Structure 1
Amino acid sequence: MARLALPSDAEMTQAQREACGEAISGLRGRVPAPMIAWIRNPELARRAQRLGELLRYQTTLEPRLSELAILVCARHWTSHYEWTAHKREGLKAGMDPNVVAAIAARRPPALRDAREQAVYDVAGTLLATGRVPEALHRRGTEALGERGMVELVGLLGYYSLVALTLNAFEIGLPEAAAPELADPDLA
Structure 2
Amino acid sequence: MRLRDLAREEMSEAQARVADEAAAGKRGRVPAPLRAWIYSPELGARAQRLGEFCRYETSLGPRLSELAILVVARSFTSHYEWFAHKREALKAGLDPEIVADIAARRTPHFTDDAARAVHDYVTVLLSTHRVPDAVHAAAVQVLGEQGVVELVGVLGYYILVALTLNAFEIGLPEGEVSDLAP
* TM superposition score category, shorter chain reference: over 0.9
Structure 1: 5+ residue stretches without partners: none
Residue type of the alignment partner of 1:70: I
Following TM superposition, by how much is the alpha carbon of 1:182 offset from its aligned partner in structure 2, in angstroms? 1.2
For residues 135-167 of structure 1, the C-alpha deviation after alignment (integer angstroms, 9 at most, x for no partner) is 111111001000000000000010000001000
Structure 2 equivalent of residue 114 of structure 1: 113
Q: Distance in 1 between matches of 2:4 and 2:44?
A: 14
Structure 1 equivalent of residue 154 of structure 2: 155
Aligned residues: 181
Residue type of the alignment partner of 2:65: S
**Structure 2 matches for 1:13-28, cutoff 5 A?**
13-28=12-27
Following TM superposition, by how much is the alpha carbon of 1:173 offset from its aligned partner in structure 2, in angstroms? 4.0
**Structure 2 matches for 1:103-142, cutoff 5 A?**
103-142=102-141
Following TM superposition, by how much is the alpha carbon of 1:3 offset from its aligned partner in structure 2, in angstroms? 1.5
Residue type of the alignment partner of 1:44: L
Instruction: Out of 89-98 and 167-176, give the one that drifted further.
Output: 167-176
Following TM superposition, by how much is the alpha carbon of 1:26 offset from its aligned partner in structure 2, in angstroms? 0.7
**Which secondary structure state, in structure 2, belongs to the residue aligned with residue 10 of structure 1?**
helix
**Structure 2 matches for 1:172-187, cutoff 5 A?**
172-173=171-172, 175=174, 176-178=176-178, 180-183=179-182
Structure 1 equivalent of residue 72 of structure 2: 73
Contact 1:69 1:155 in 2 (8 A): yes
For residues 94-145 of structure 1, the C-alpha deviation after alignment (integer angstroms, 9 at most, x for no partner) is 1110000000000010112000000000000111111111111111100100
Contact 2:73 2:79 in 1 (8 A): yes
Structure 2 equivalent of residue 96 of structure 1: 95
The TM-score with structure 2 as length reference comes to: 0.96
Q: Note the aligned Cα RMSD (angstroms).
A: 1.1
Q: Distance in 1 between matches of 2:164 and 2:121?
A: 23
For residues 17-49 of structure 1, the C-alpha deviation after alignment (integer angstroms, 9 at most, x for no partner) is 000010011111110000000001000000000
Q: Distance in 2 between matches of 1:151 and 1:65?
A: 11
Residue type of the alignment partner of 2:126: L
- Deviation above 3 Å: which 4+ runs of structure 1? 173-177
